[in-house]
Amino acid sequence: MRFYFSVLVSLVLCCNASVNHSGGNKNPVLLPQDDYNITGDGPLLKIPASWDTLKTIPDEVEITVSEVANPKLKPVSISVYFLGKEARWNVSDFTLYPPDRPGTFVFRTSEVIQKIVDQNKEGAKADIFLCLELNIRPQSDTKKEDYSSVKLKIAAQLRNIK
């Protein structure tokens, strides 16, 4: 019985590792800069996304939070969306947990970007931005200086899986 349990655990671990393995077949579509800072004082990051990039309909966006300064451990979430002159296309939201731990988050973008491209086929191509917006959940004991102490170092890339 112990042998079968060991085999089962090994299979589960191997399958899980292969599912989470990113492999070398993902093609990054680079955005203008590698690292950005988001703070409680400047919570909105707008990264220009070129039409040449968007026309390739990237499959996913990878957001890497490499450094977190959150001394008061305030709950922190990030909204990910594309923003045009007159429209907003939501991709997803994620939360840092624990609120001072870095991490990498991957979200599917192909359907959202297809909508953007379809809606902008006619006329001038509007400027489109990939936006990352820091949301600090207010609490009754939260002061303005608690927000300003939050700082994230973050990178984003759009990529195709092929």
Q: Where are the domains of the chain?
A: 27-161
- Predicted local distance difference test score (pLDDT) of residue 22: 40
What is the residue-averaged pLDDT of the chain?
Answer: 78
The answer on pLDDT for 72 being more than 90 is no
Q: What does the DSSP 8-state code read for residue 141?
A: T
pLDDT tens-digit map of 20-61: 334 444 666 657 667 899 998 889 999 998 888 888 899 999
State how far Cα 56 lies from the chain centre. 19
pLDDT band per the 50, 70, 90 thresholds, residue 153? very high
DSSP E strand stretches across the chain = 26-29, 36-39, 44-49, 60-69, 76-83, 88-96, 103-108, 128-136, 151-161
pLDDT tens-digit map of 73-130: 888 899 999 998 888 999 999 999 999 999 999 999 999 999 998 888 765 567 899 9
51 membership: H or E segment, kind and range: helix 51-55
pLDDT tens-digit map of 8-20: 333 333 332 223 3
Q: Burial level of 137, CB count in 10 A (0-12/13-18/19+)?
A: exposed
pLDDT band per the 50, 70, 90 thresholds, residue 4? very low
Q: What does the DSSP 8-state code read for residue 155?
A: E
CATH class of 27-161: mainly beta
pTM of the predicted model as reported, rounded to 2 decimal places: 0.77
pLDDT band per the 50, 70, 90 thresholds, residue 143? low
pLDDT band per the 50, 70, 90 thresholds, residue 65? very high
